[in-house]
Structure 1
């Protein structure tokens, strides 16, 4: 400005023109400074089409590419390369629950077997791990097996879960918001590569991302955090005190709790319920927790590596995943083995309190997927029928092809009544049980005639205790005399055979006709004789 003041006379500029020009320059400077400030502090909005809310606290706007890439979080693996969950082979109850939840929410998860610590050979335990309890060794080995399987898959990322998980019903929308934030991560120490910008919804600058820690505490670098709005964040009442304290330490207080989540560098996350890893992360975990040794339980040893700086991680608070607790002995497969008496006592207590999945709880979740599925799969079949068919006698009549209305079927009686009807129908003549009374076909007449003939034959041949019984001794004596008579043996045999064949044919006709006409069961062999 001094230059202008000294030279306005030299160039013939009047004082009024000089003041006007200076005002224009000052106004332009104020405009550009204000625009820059607003650009730094504004929160870009996402369209409702992508189901993501305004959540940004970074400097910049959401690119079209980032929006498109975040949609991968809506797929069956939440935008990760794969989802694996660890479960002991005998915990089929938990495996049923995991697959049920996955099917309801369109997720694809595959199981990796947990490991019994006692089965691990002493030579395969890393240096420093000899003092670990068998359950701790089994847990470590199961996670190491997942890391190895992931490296063999050739994928960029994997989500690792444990089988007692629970999550919010809007899990896919939650991860889409996390994807937006991770693509605009202000905590990165390296710029994103072209591969990340093209195909990594959560970036690849990290080794581990904690998504289901059971407790946590922040480092002294509390200024390293990125806060974003999330309408599916658990309410203040549903947020565990651990995470309330964690958020307070990061500068989040009061009404903000229950409305926002925060991304921060991992420092003290406990538990391995849910976490994601990159290929570089799996390699570093295998290096530091197997090849170079193992000092303590796997989750605590990872914390030591995070604090030592040999592994880089991010933590989402509150976590999107939570453990589902029954508050009894069923909750843990790695706790110290209890005696048979202790287990029986807890089982008895559980039965008395009627504790089961219906009484299970999950913290840090606004709308539990486990509780919601009880409503979504609830059915009241007979109430639905009663609502649609309020008449209790019978359903509406159906029309035949010719337009006539068929009468409804007669209702069934009790079992005893139906049995009595069946017996009576079997004893009745054929004409009384024929369905079609107007049936006068030749076959029907023949059947009736045959039935009458069979009844007469049956009465004459096998009437119980009378003619057959009276004639039997005389026939036997006559047969003996004839056999002793010389020259008449062949004649006697021919006559006997002829009589026997006549009887067998008559009885056979009676049995066949009884079966065809339902005229009662055939008599026993003893009665025939």
Structure 2
């Protein structure tokens, strides 16, 4: 009975916000997606339909695009890592070309809190106008100084040294900086490490949401497309995938 009440409460809460915002208060939502991973797209489409989100699937550069990738990255990065790096970098350039003031960038293996729209409305209230990157999902990060006075569960903090890039946003000025700072011809390492370094150096104004309201749902039967990546598992308070009947 309690579970039914909880599901009903979050369903009604989500309906309250779904008509007002389909991009979580950003100009655009990109999903970096390998075209052959139709299993992931099917799940994302189902969640987007329920949550009322508009997603733009960006065809990721593949590790099989050897002719392109051999010109980028370092010897320490394999083709999958180079492809991931370049996919994110190309989105920064596309943001500038299309004139988006901000964009949320997702990888295609994410799960959302059921009330993600309400959470992000609260986060945007505290987010300073000068922000350049915003980690809505991250890993291996300690909490920095809290920003704002929100008493909600999900709060905004100054970024410390965030890793993982399954759910983060970039502003227009942030994209301009990242194009210069993360030149794929001379990377410092993988894309998440390279971005974490420039944030730690104070070159990018970055904030993080803790606890993260968007997580990865990798499982034994859904491994990462990047062989060397560590399989991580994070819990949500109210998983959209579980609400829709999926095991994660």
The equivalent position to 1:335 in structure 2, one of 215, 223, 227, is 227
Distance 2:58 2:95 in 1: 11
Is 2:238 the counterpart of 1:371? no
Is 2:72 the counterpart of 1:125? yes
Distance 1:165 1:332 in 2: 12
User: Which digits, 9 at most, give the CA deviation of each residue in 1:135-157, with x for residues without a partner?
Assistant: 11011011112112211111200
CA contact (8 A) 1:114 1:142 kept: yes
Distance 1:332 1:85 in 2: 15
Gaps of 5+ in 1: 1-50, 52-70, 186-202, 231-259, 338-360, 376-529
Higher helix share: 1
User: Which digits, 9 at most, give the CA deviation of each residue in 1:440-479, with x for residues without a partner?
Assistant: xxxxxxxxxxxxxxxxxxxxxxxxxxxxxxxxxxxxxxxx
Q: Which protein is bigger by CA-based radius of gyration?
A: 1
CA contact (8 A) 1:210 1:315 kept: yes
Normalization by structure 2: what TM-score? 0.83
Distance 2:178 2:145 in 1: 27
Per-residue deviation at 1:112?
Answer: 0.7
SS in 2 for 1:83: strand
Distance 2:146 2:19 in 1: 25
Higher strand share: 2
CA contact (8 A) 1:166 1:369 kept: yes
Distance 1:112 1:224 in 2: 33
Residue in 1 aligned with 2:9? Answer: none
- Would the alpha carbon gap of residues 144 and 315 (structure 1) be closer, same or farther in structure 2, given more than 3 Å must change? same
Residue in 2 aligned with 1:110? Answer: 56
SS in 2 for 1:228: coil
- Would the alpha carbon gap of residues 74 and 321 (structure 1) be closer, same or farther in structure 2, given more than 3 Å must change? farther
- Would the alpha carbon gap of residues 101 and 91 (structure 1) be closer, same or farther in structure 2, given more than 3 Å must change? same
Normalization by structure 1: what TM-score? 0.40
User: Which digits, 9 at most, give the CA deviation of each residue in 1:196-227, with x for residues without a partner?
Assistant: xxxxxxx3x11100001023124xxx555445
Per-residue deviation at 1:130?
Answer: 3.2
The equivalent position to 1:261 in structure 2, one of 151, 154, 157, is 154
CA contact (8 A) 1:318 1:364 kept: no
Is 2:42 the counterpart of 1:96? yes
Distance 1:270 1:181 in 2: 22
Distance 1:223 1:79 in 2: 23
**Count of aligned positions:** 228
Residue in 2 aligned with 1:512? Answer: none
Gaps of 5+ in 2: 1-12
Residue in 1 aligned with 2:200? Answer: 307
- Would the alpha carbon gap of residues 287 and 169 (structure 1) be closer, same or farther in structure 2, given more than 3 Å must change? same
SS in 1 for 2:96: helix
The equivalent position to 2:181 in structure 1, one of 269, 288, 292, is 288
CA RMSD of aligned residues (A): 2.5
User: Relative contact order (C-alpha < 8 Å, sep 6+): which is higher?
Assistant: 2
Distance 1:335 1:91 in 2: 15
Query: 1:115-264 residue pairs with structure 2 within 5 A?
Result: 115-120=61-66, 121=68, 124-126=71-73, 129-182=74-127, 185=128, 203=129, 205-218=130-143, 223=145, 225-230=147-152, 260-264=153-157
- Would the alpha carbon gap of residues 118 and 174 (structure 1) be closer, same or farther in structure 2, given more than 3 Å must change? same
CA contact (8 A) 2:32 2:59 kept: yes
Residue in 1 aligned with 2:217? Answer: 324
SS in 2 for 1:111: strand
Query: 1:375-454 residue pairs with structure 2 within 5 A?
Result: none
Is 2:31 the counterpart of 1:85? yes
Distance 1:323 1:329 in 2: 14
User: Which digits, 9 at most, give the CA deviation of each residue in 1:357-381, with x for residues without a partner?
Assistant: xxxx963411111111229xxxxxx
